[in-house]
A and B are shown apart, each in its own frame.
Chain A
Amino acid sequence: MEPKVNLSVKVAGIKMRSPVMVASGTFGYGEEYEPLVNLNQLGAIVTKGITVQPRKGNPPPRIVETSSGLLNSIGLENVGLEIFIKEKLPFLQRFNTPIIVNICGEKEEEYVHISERLDKVEAVSGLEVNVSCPNVEKGGMEFGRETGTVRRLVSKVRKVTKLPLIIKLTPNVTDITAIAQAAEDGGGDAVSLINTPLGMAVDIERRKPSLANVTGGLSGPAIKPVALRMVWEVANMVKLPIIGMGGIMTAEDAIEFLLAGATAVAVGTVNFVNPSAALEISRGIEEYLVKNKIRDVNKLRDYGARWKK
């Protein structure tokens, strides 16, 4: 039976059956959730952030729960580029779902190296350029806080790959629309927002920070209004398609992002609570469209442009 409504979207040239993706860092390399989730039904899988060399990550404690949120400072632990290609990608390739690789580095050359290498790897549908990781000493968010830096990095990566480039933005900036514009100017094809805002928690019994790294990135329902505001602002200022994320727990949350101007959404922290969340949210969006007689999910993002302050 033909679906009653269209749920498929195209982001940066990547065609997805559903607008609901799983966010980087919250779904491992896919294999961890395969026993529980039909990976063929996801809009796309965004992998854990990959660096040229394997990274151990930060010392524990790495996570702490806060009011309606989760603070993390994982520190980009990952298997490294070559092991990722050899050992993790073949598993993901078995599924009929776009694979977007989140890439990160301490130096521009590392982003360039990874992009050049993955350009030749057929299983990869796109790159999410991580200029927003708040938990590493060097690189990550350092590359995402000034327009000049963003533009330069994106244009360098652009030169070495034809893969769709999705720039993942940090909310820890004065004006995220300027950063998004810089991503476009550099040759990016889409933007993901938001990565985690920096936060902190203190263990008052031990009289020490709750995280070994002192600060961490905040995710979960606590950040949703902030994320939504930023998506709406960027949607009104920049032409690039947006993947909206930040605290999406339910279909209603996702629809808010789509109405505000996002072409697709990604769910993150909710995966830890409910591994089937992405699929349930996708079904919830479908039901909403049917109920409201909207035939195409792509119609939703027109609404945000009409809202004026």
Chain B
Amino acid sequence: MWQGKVRILSNEEVAPDCFRMRLEAPEIAGEARAGQFLHVRVVVGYSPLLRRPFSVHRISEKFKVKDSRLQNVEILYEVAGKGTMILSGRQVGEELDILGPLGNGFDLPGDMETAILIAGGIGVAPLLALAQEIVQSSKLKVQSKKVHVIIGAKMKKLVLCEEEFKELGCQVRVASEDGSLGYSGTAVGLFKELLSTLNFELLTVYACGPEVMLKKIAEITSEKKIPAQLSLEGRMGCGVGACLGCAIKVKNSKGKGKDSPADGGQMEEADFSYKRICKDGPVFGADEVVWNRR
């Protein structure tokens, strides 16, 4: 864990309102794992007051080389409010105060033979780092062609990272809600189709995206007994587990809730507890999360 100022190397709009920022951060690049995040102070002053969390999106392959200018980390973000609006205006060469890497990161089972990565919208951000980590790991059996990536977006122009995943050798499928590119429908629909057409051995599912998407993926993987890991987001304060602001409801492993439907509204007090998204997550097992009823 490190906090300090790093230089902005690039900050480009890669799709409407979606930006990719590259940072010269040797302290982070050597340590960060896919699924972890950076807590970024978008301004020097106190408006906005809090840091903003962003998934590690890509880590420079050259982080082992000595030249610190090549030890880079990227974040991918969508302009969604005041903080990200300010961030999108930050210029190359300026310094940015970052804290990280934080959180637990994705778990890569050694015996995994197939991985399906499901991205909803800007949720693609941590999954590129994950694909990178899977493909580059010498400890894993899984081949890059057994890494299936589903990219879901509202429309063609919001489909992110298709080429980047292909360059890593992944099998990439695209879903657009308006049918303007690839499968017509949501990432979840495409995921169901993929599961029904192929027979997967030793599969792990990884997903990041809107809560409604993650909830559906959790239902599908739970029913089919497929292990799944979800990267969640929440309003964060400290980012290090101190303020207890980013609570998420989880089933107690010993409680009755363990095998019951993941519906927060019906749970007994003894059957759930809260975990911290920032410290205990942001990656959670799909079967432990208790979803909100909205």
A-side interface residues toward B, CB under 8 Å? Answer: 25-28, 32-33, 35-36, 48, 56-65, 67-70, 72, 74, 77, 220-221, 249, 269, 271-276
Contacts and interface: CB of A to CB of B under 8 A. Distances in A.
B235 A61 contact: yes
Contacts of A70: 49-50, 237
Contacts of B1: 35-36
Nearest to A30: B242
- Listed from nearest, the 3 A-B pairs whose CB atoms lie closest are A28-B242, A63-B245, A32-B242
Nearest to B238: A272
B48 A63 contact: no
A142 to B, nearest CB: 21
Contacts of A59: 247, 249
B49 A74 contact: no
Contacts, number: 101
Interface in B210-225: none
Contact of A74 (B99, B234, B235, B243): B243
Nearest to B269: A56
B238 A65 contact: no
A137 B81 CA distance: 33
Contacts of B234: 60-61
A77 B241 CA distance: 12
B46 A249 contact: yes
B148 interface: no
A65 B47 CA distance: 10
B251 interface: no
A32 B237 contact: no
Contacts of A48: 244
B279 interface: yes
Contact of A63 (B3, B41, B237): B237
Interface string B48-86: 111100000000000000000000000000000000000
A72 B243 contact: yes
B49 A220 contact: yes
A25, A32, A74, A274, most chain B CB atoms within 10 A: A32
A48 B269 CA distance: 23
A289 B235 CA distance: 39
Contact of A57 (B47, B51, B239, B274): B274
A74 B245 contact: yes
Interface residues of B, number: 31
B240 interface: yes
Nearest to B47: A68
Given A60-B249, A63-B235, A77-B247, A273 B46 contact: yes
24 contacts: A27-B242, A28-B238, A36-B99, A48-B244, A56-B269, A57-B274, A60-B249, A61-B234, A63-B243, A64-B235, A65-B48, A65-B50, A65-B235, A67-B47, A68-B46, A69-B49, A77-B247, A221-B49, A272-B50, A273-B46, A273-B50, A274-B41, A274-B97, A275-B99
Nearest to A210: B235
A63 B240 CA distance: 15
Contacts of B136: none
B213 to A, nearest CB: 19
A276 B1 CA distance: 13
Greatest chain A CB density within 10 A among B46, B246, B248, B273 is at B46
Contacts of B269: 56
B264 to A, nearest CB: 8
A282 B49 CA distance: 21
A273 B97 CA distance: 10
A32 B280 CA distance: 12
Interface string B243-262: 11111110000000000000
B46 to A, nearest CB: 6
Contact of B51 (A63, A221, A249, A273): A273
A111 B272 CA distance: 27
Nearest to B279: A32
B210 to A, nearest CB: 15
A272 B48 CA distance: 13
Contacts of A274: 41, 97
A234 B237 CA distance: 31
Contacts of A74: 243-245
Given A28-B241, A35-B1, A271-B242, A57 B48 contact: no
Nearest to B41: A273
Contacts of B246: 60, 62-63
A56 B274 contact: yes
Contacts of A62: 235, 244-247
A60 B294 CA distance: 13
Residue with the highest number of chain A CB atoms closer than 10 Å, among B235, B246, B279:
B235
B48 to A, nearest CB: 6
Interface in B14-58: 41, 46-51
A116 B189 CA distance: 60
A28 B238 CA distance: 10
A273 B50 CA distance: 6
Contacts of B242: 26-28, 32-33, 271-272
Contact of A60 (B50, B51, B247): B247
B21 to A, nearest CB: 20
Contacts of A32: 238, 240-242, 279
Nearest to A32: B242
A68 B245 contact: no
A137 to B, nearest CB: 14
Nearest to A70: B49
B245 A269 contact: no
Given A26-B243, A32-B241, A62-B244, 5 more contacts: A36-B240, A61-B234, A65-B49, A65-B235, A69-B49
